[in-house]
Amino acid sequence: MMQKHRDITQSRIEQFKDKENLKNRKLLFPKELEKIEISSWPAPDRVPFSEAIKHLDDFKPIKVGDKLDGPIWSTHWIRFAATIPAEWEGDEVFLIFDFGGEVLVWSESGTPLQGLNGQTGEDRRTDFRITKKAKGGESVLLFLECACNELFGNSEWVVGPSAPRETREYNIKEAKLAVLDQQCWKLLWDFTVIADIAKHLDAEKSVECAEALRVANLMVNQINLDDKSTWAKGLDTAARFFKRLSPSSSSSSRDFDDEEDDQEKFQFHLTAVGHCHIDTAWLWPYAETRRKAGRSWSTQLRLIEDYDSYKFVCSQMQQWEWLREDYPDLFQQLKERVADGHVIPIGGTWVEMDCNIPSGESLCRQFLYGQNFMQKHFGKRTEIFWLPDTFGYAAQLPQLMLQAGIKYFLTQKLSWNQINKFPHNTFVWEGLDGSKVLTHFPPADTYCSHANVHDVNKSQTNFKDKDRSSSALLVFGHGDGGGGPNPNMLEMLTRLKPSIAHLPSIEFADPLKMFKHIEKNDQHKLASWVGELYFEYHRATYTTQAKNKLYNRKLELLLRDLEIVLSVLSLTKVDVDPSFYDQQEIDRLWKLLLLNQFHDVIPGTSIGCVYEDSTNHYQDIQKSASSLLSKALGRLSGVQQEHQEKGIFCFNSLSFPVSSVVEIDVSEIEIEGLQKNSDQTKTLAFVSVPALNGTVLSAQQITAPLVGSLSLVRLEKGFVLENDLISVSITNDGWIDHLIHKPTGRDSVSPQSLLNRFVIFDDHPLYWDAWDVDIYHLEKRYDVGRAESIEVIEEGPLRVALRQVVKLSATSTLTQTISLSLGDPHVVFDTQVDWDEAHKFLKVEFPLDVRSSEARYEIPFGFVSRPTHFNTTWDLARFEVCGHRWADLSEYDFGVALFNDCKYGFSTRNNVLTLSLLRAPKYPDEKADIGSHQFKYALMPHSGSLQQASVVQRAILFNNPIKIIAAQSASNDQNLEIAKRPFIETDQAAVIVETLKRSEEDEKTFVVRLYESFGGSARTTIRFGFPVSQVRETNLLEDILEGSDPLPLSGPDSSSTNVSFR
């Protein structure tokens, strides 16, 4: 009889199932064969199987205990040969292999079979089944591709990952054949599930919990692990327990297709789906991720063979593409399993991207390339946006999802929130424009569930919307570093699948089935969440790895301009060779950019070699796209040219006219009589260019008399830079003590304050070094002192400028040019920083004479308002926020906007607008941000609202100035009547032309993407500067909207149409 000491009994039960007892490998694999032949070849790189077998003569014999020579990230191919003993006839035979790293098992013929890894802990997997039923005497020949890295690369974990170890020894720990004892295997999982029911159900309220404790204890008493004859009795006890705990067979496994009777309708229901979240890069480089996909997904095919009801979802079409390139046979096998419903492609995007930093157009391309890949290879798109591990979700995403044919959204990252617990698991997320998507956070609070009783029970007890829905998703499988579900998880879920009282009913099914069930039965009851899903963690990802973020911003714009110019060229030059628009190369460049927007790359949270990869990718994009753009601009300038004299071609890719000072590279064209910049490498000129068009200007036109005033005055206390719109007073210390908006006479500087003050904060987050900045960093600040030197470097007539040098610390220096140009309403700060710090955070502050409870920040395709106070914990949590090209602090009829060309971290507390500049974390990349940085920001006082003051347009222009090249000779096929019009223009300032590109399907059809930027409704007339035969509205996948008619064309040339934005 069990004594009534629950805690002691529970501990006894846990002890019985540990690795020294029931989980003992000697019990599970009682027969072993160590008489094997293994030989190894240290490959020069990550070479494919086809290359490895060419080197069979180079394979050298090795044995258990031998070291695999080679550095971290190296690869060794091992040939494993053995003969199954004749006496093992009928046995289930496994390979057992462990060298401490990751392994892909290959067949003799070159088929990838399964992944292994020598990780310690639950995600360890060192066994591969060779045969379910051995004949005895057969030969075994396998090849093992051994990667000298673990699931999580080569980093050690303390609180978050460290920098990778420079050295790591890998040894052959195990290499043998073994026989699995099926009786012991069954006993292990029967006992484990019963013991976990006793451990995790409510002992005070659950009869089932008490019964499980009694039965588990009884099994301990019944089973003598040294005497197999006692095992059957334990198995019988377990079988009787499961039978008693389950309802009648007629209702033992409810799914969403069942009619719910009174007994079943209140039971919580879990849809269980296997998943292998593989970070596309993180603590390992991209090249290793390609192999992780092969290891992980081949493993899932083996599970599907053994567990017929098992469903496995795979996201990230980039990883599917890699699989198609590297493992074509495996890709074909997976496609077959897609067809029969066991494998479910999901997600709808190219990678699981960051959703804070990418531009709106980048987000569109993620969906476009992702959904197109699915349609091409699987014959269907997904309706589920699958993004479990990203660090916050922009408010515009619901509209983009719907535009991409997606109705449902899954994530769980907000369960990590640092301060406020998110109040829902299933809810309706409403975006910036009112678009609504059904959203689900799996209540187990993980995308890597172990599929045990704890996670199944937590899915029910932790579900926050029980009064509105009784359905949830359990996403199980080892993730981040790959691996995915394993047999242990399927064994536990198989035992829990029959409806056990006080636990959810479980069904293996496509997540789409769950979403559709909730949509049909529960959505009308669900709560709504309006606006961004701000993640109260990982706020430093807006700033870390600054060079990556600069590349990202610049290349997003470069690819945009390239597509616009190529489209314009195609539309204005009827005889242009269609191949001039190199769609294949443009797709390649976009996919490279999208790849590096993965949620551990662009946020700055990967190891150093990932940023070596991304820099190479960025430079590839820059070189190719710049070359294509230069050629296209040259061709376009020939269309515009009316004369042969020397001049420049100015192209404005923006949808509004621009007049501004531009820089002309003296290597392109030398024009006398114009101001040059301080180092004499650029000539300055003031030009005016129509919306989305180019203009050829002769030297005479460029040097025409200027209109407007510009001055720089030296005073005893400093300098005054002034034009017709603003006056900037700069002290000899380098700080701004007055910023006057001349039309109103108002000073933007808060009394007794100074603008452009640099501040360094101590930056020691509690947990994740590259990811986090914690709120207490604000308590320990160091105000940077006065400039060491300040001098005048440009004195007009087009631009005036000062240069200051600021010693930030003993090891870091900032050099900044502060300039004001003719006609500009903003002062520009062109900044270069030599940065060599450890755990410091550099920001620049602007205490403004503006009072508002909210500041506004640009996000993809719009803007959001966020509090400037800490009234509530929800306000406090947003002490650091993400913005794109601008932030604005305004009160009635006056405000100040802050522009930038590559920064994303902001904060506004009371009246102090702050831009985050640089960090210096040490893990996982100990060299993160160390080095030289170049960036620009600008400050613009304005009257009226940000909309009235053209803040959006000014920020766009600040990031994407007029393109200048030397004008080419007049083209023989020029069409000046077409060429001199704006190619696309709108009559509403709020409406921005974001994109002009060739259609995905038809080289004679072009796509224009526009958005309303002021935060309201708009109706605009779009005028095209080229012949138009038909205009249709599409979604972002370029599908014609169902039931829509062509938009009516109007105007003199039938080249205008009207569009409404809501």
Structure tokens at 569: 């060229």
Rounded distance, CA 563 to CA 540, Å?
A: 33
Gyration radius (Cα) of the chain, Å: 32
Q: DSSP secondary-structure letter at 336? A: H
Q: Under the phi-then-psi rule, with left for phi > 0, alpha for psi from -120 to 50, and beta for the rest, what region is 796? A: left
Contacts of 22 by beta carbon, 8 Å cutoff, 6+ apart: 16, 184, 187, 188, 191, 225
Helix (H) or strand (E) holding 818: strand 813-821
The 10 Å Cβ neighbour count of residue 366 is 28
Contacts of 854 by beta carbon, 8 Å cutoff, 6+ apart: 865, 866, 867, 868
Contacts of 594 by beta carbon, 8 Å cutoff, 6+ apart: 318, 350, 351, 353, 362, 365, 366, 369
- For 337, the 3-state DSSP assignment is helix
The 10 Å Cβ neighbour count of residue 124 is 16
Contacts of 226 by beta carbon, 8 Å cutoff, 6+ apart: none
Q: Under the phi-then-psi rule, with left for phi > 0, alpha for psi from -120 to 50, and beta for the rest, what region is 847? A: beta
Q: Under the phi-then-psi rule, with left for phi > 0, alpha for psi from -120 to 50, and beta for the rest, what region is 1054? A: left
Which single residue is written with the structure tokens 């029970």?
A: 457
Q: Which residue(s) pair with 79 in the sheet?
A: 39, 143
C-beta of residue 555 within 8 angstroms of C-beta of residue 593: yes
Rounded distance, CA 394 to CA 534, Å?
A: 8
Helix (H) or strand (E) holding 163: strand 161-164
- For 586, the 3-state DSSP assignment is helix
Q: Which residue(s) pair with 399 in the sheet?
A: none
C-beta of residue 693 within 8 angstroms of C-beta of residue 982: yes
Helix (H) or strand (E) holding 628: helix 608-640
Rounded distance, CA 626 to CA 727, Å?
A: 37
C-beta of residue 627 within 8 angstroms of C-beta of residue 574: no
Give backbone dihedrals phi and psi of 414, rounded to 5 degrees, phi first: -70, -10
Rounded distance, CA 581 to CA 998, Å?
A: 9
Instruction: Indicate which residue of 258, 389, 582, 1053 is catalytic.
Output: 389
Q: What is the DSSP string of 713-753?
A: EE-SSEEEEEESSEEEEEETTS-EEEEEETTTTEE-BPTT-
C-beta of residue 842 within 8 angstroms of C-beta of residue 831: no
Looking only at the bridges linking them, the beta strands covering 269-275 and 505-508 are parallel
The C-alpha angle 137, 111, 291, rounded to 5 degrees, equals: 125
**Nearest alpha carbon to residue 1028 among 1002, 1056, 1052:** 1056
**What amino acid is encoded at 925 in this protein?**
D
Does residue 389 carry a catalytic annotation? yes
Kindly list the catalytic residues. 389
